Amino acid sequence: MNTHNSGTFVQRFFVYVLLTILLILVVVPIWLLIVNGTRSTTEIQQGISLLPSTHAIENYNILLGRGLDLPRGFANSLFLAVISTIVTVYFALLTAYGIVVYEFPGKKYFSNFIIILVMIPLQLSIIGFYQYMSKLGLVDNYLSLILPLIASASAVFFGKQYLEAIVIQDLIDAGRIDGASELGIFHTIMLPLAVPGAITMGIFAFVGSWNNFFTPFIMITSIEKYTLPMLVQTMRGDVYRTEYGAIYLGLAMTVVPIIILYAIFSRYIVSGISLGAVKD
């Protein structure tokens, strides 16, 4: 008995040590980012510091002095992130519901095709994507960033895995007997059941849209439509002096909302992923 308890204690000790190391690896870079946002460029060039400095307001004024409309950029990022999240979650769950519930020819091949799409990097298709959006007249338009999310392969894959674990066929049959339409069954029965998974998908979609720099940088040309990460990136275009403190402050402003979002909805992420990983 004592040997078993000793073994359990040692296992727990190493687990806690490993988790502590992982926590440090995650927290320290974020803390350094926030700290550097309060330091001047000269202080940053002198080396690393874990203590905040007194140049946060100065760095913010530098951002404003470069003509960067940070509130506008924040609003643009928030608008895109919210709309993208709604579109991604709704259509991904709707598509996943159709794959899980209905039987149709080629269902297995279609599911495998989704997995293949998940593994293809966006960079490989960006030229064709730009040309396609250009022919549709959607360059420098937020629709070029929102409409493709109707067919988000990664979100559909996650939604499929999640719905396979929670779908109750008897409830669907009961809804059909009561005369509910197929869309009505999805909206009134499946969506309420899929709330934890939908929130998890929503968080990932929101963070992905908020942090997305590559695609907006390709598709958006008007500076008044720039997102917050795009505005911060323009700070590196100064040929005379790169204000690293201001850049770090701008990056910190883009990270803090994500940290708050994770802090509020972290329990939904854990429950959503855990349930989606369990199949009967």
Mean pLDDT in residue range 200-217: 89
Q: What is the pLDDT of residues 90-142, one digit of tens each?
A: 999 999 998 988 888 888 888 888 888 888 887 788 888 999 999 999 999 99
Alpha-helix residue ranges (DSSP H) falling in 102-222 = 107-119, 126-135, 143-146, 153-166, 169-177, 182-185, 191-193, 195-211, 214-219
Cβ atoms of 232 and 254 within 8 Å: the answer is: yes
pLDDT at 239 (0 to 100): 46
- Cα separation, 119 vs 153, in Å, equals 9
DSSP 103: -
Mean pLDDT computed over 204-226: 90
Q: Which of 195, 194, 196, 172 is nearest to 185 (CA)?
A: 172
pTM of this structure = 0.81
Confirm if 245 and 62 have CB atoms less than 8 A apart.
yes
Neighbours of 213 (CB within 10 A): 14
Q: pLDDT tens across 37-94, in order?
A: 899 888 888 888 888 888 888 888 888 777 677 888 889 999 999 999 999 999 999 9
Q: What would the CATH number be for the domain defined by 68-229+247-276?
A: 1.10.3720.10
Averaged pLDDT for residues 3-8:
64
In the chain, domain spans: 68-229+247-276
Q: Which two tokens stand for residue 94?
A: 């709707």
Mean pLDDT of 13-24: 90
DSSP label at residue 187: I
Q: Give the count of alpha carbons within 13 A of 131, CB side only.
A: 3
Q: Which of 241, 233, 255, 247 is nearest to 37 (CA)?
A: 247
